[in-house]
Chain A
Amino acid sequence: MRLPLSYVVRNLWTRKLTTLLTAGGMALVVFVFAAVLMLEAGLRQTLVDTGSFDNAVVIRRSAQTEVQSGIDRAQAGVIESQPEVTLGAGGARMLSKEVVVLVNLYKRDAENKPANVLVRGVEPQGLALRPQLHIVAGRLFRPGASEIVVGRSVAERFRGAGLGERLYFGLRDWSVVGVFDAGHSGFDSEIWGDADQLMQAFRRPVYSSVVLKLADPARFGELKARLESDPRLTVEAKREIEFYSEQSALLANFIRYLGLSLSVIFSVGAVLGAMITMYASVATRTAEIGTLRALGFRRGSILAAFLLEAAALGITGGAAGLFAASFMQLLTISTMNWQSFSELAFSFTLTGAIVAKSLAFALAMGFLGGFLPAARAARIDIVDALRAA
């Protein structure tokens, strides 16, 4: 016969302070665990949304990032003439030769803390290549003018980057004429302007990268092979989606490893806490357990009841931790991505998988902490237990 669930719940309810403290410890562990997973998911989300499967990015061989790359005009011309490039309205080639530089801007809220913000000079097709990007305030920059549009998170965070303000770099004042939203992708952390104007301002005769849309995404392999074996070029081609996920691999791994090792260490503390609570719970109820056994409940039922109690502790803690962690979605983290050396904003993202993982983690902590005490409770001898009272 099984012990009723209400017995388990009432046991926890009687010792509120102890239950609260144990579940509270677990809640904190689950909070850290969930927050880390959410951060990593947010980072991946941001970078996955940045790239498109249909687009290819061409940069100088072994340059790793657009900032380090350089492609001169003759090489860019060779890339432009490849047959895989799709044709857009009016027969224009869907290709943008871009220049990418970093400039130091200061955050609005902090005195004298510079951040590297990525400035991208694009050609007219650049916007069409990134359909996720929309102007939400103001208008697009005019080609040939010292005008720029800024990503949403740049406009919010950096001094002088709001709509109607002016930014000074490359010996010029640039008017911010528009703010764009790129659907939480990495472009939200960028400033865009006219490629030719930016190249002039920075005295830079070469492009950084060439971004193009493939007419047939399946034929990317052919394009890559041809470009990389062309003796006139020293470039490598990547799918845009891969390019951006590589950009953040280091940061994502760092967050993941740091977070997981912390969760493991912390969970040791929480498991010990659960173990202490459950041992005490068994010790103070020895006579009660004896009575239950005398009434005819089997060892298995006792074991199950105590395990359930521990699991309930774990689930309570897990749910509380997850609840607190879900508020982290309101926060946006902005930090330097080591690989691209530029500022990147991303937010905590809660997914179904994270909810499941966190609850499973909490449940596992509860079981792990409850198993030994429950086994002890189940092994108690009826006569000794009754005498203990």
Chain B
Amino acid sequence: MRLRVVIVDDEDLARLVVREYLAGIPDVDVVAECANGFEAVKAVSDLQPDLLILDVQMPKLNGFEVLELVGRDVAVVFVTAFDQYAIRAFEVHAVDYLLKPFSAERLAAAIDRVRERLGRGDPLPVKELAAAGQSGQEPARRILVRDGPRVHVLPVEKIDYIQAQDDYVCFRCDGKEYLKEQTLADLESALDPAKFVRIHRSYVLNLDRLARVETDERENRIAMLADGRRLPISRAGYGRLSALLK
């Protein structure tokens, strides 16, 4: 099976050496080179490669964030120069990685293992690694949402609320809605618990957007947002909200 590979690194020379090594490995086609994470997401969407050779330290979107966005569609071999935090995450989750500078043999071995894994059909622990990438800067200060080849970066302070929709969460942010495949519980744990509160089974609210709490004729509590929207508050949600506002 021919392996279609995309090389992702912000340094020209770093990409150059990977390309040179890959030229010596049979049945490997380099279909694209990307200098940043946005290009990588676009390349995965447009070209549907089998494998990303992905640098961890890159501007704007690091390797973990790229993985979080595209990890379900593509195999990944991580490359890093010296990032003890990333290395620990790879070790913990038994993920293969290359340390710069590495040899052609080392890359070939990694490619062999990728082929084996693809043959067996077992994917990378995307969620765990993405979480490991996140916890470097706890709590999350931005949310990444992939929209086909595009990546939306949502600063958390611009998010009004998040609504659960089946296997997705929907972010209400700057007057627009963004869908992301994630559970509300996973998302909630990544956000700052002093700013975001689960007011209902299906809603997480940015406290800054709360204008007041009203009670309707059937004794249900309603969160009134600054922009006039109304969100339901459950009994447990009201408890969490009161604890935060105290």
Interaction A to B:
no
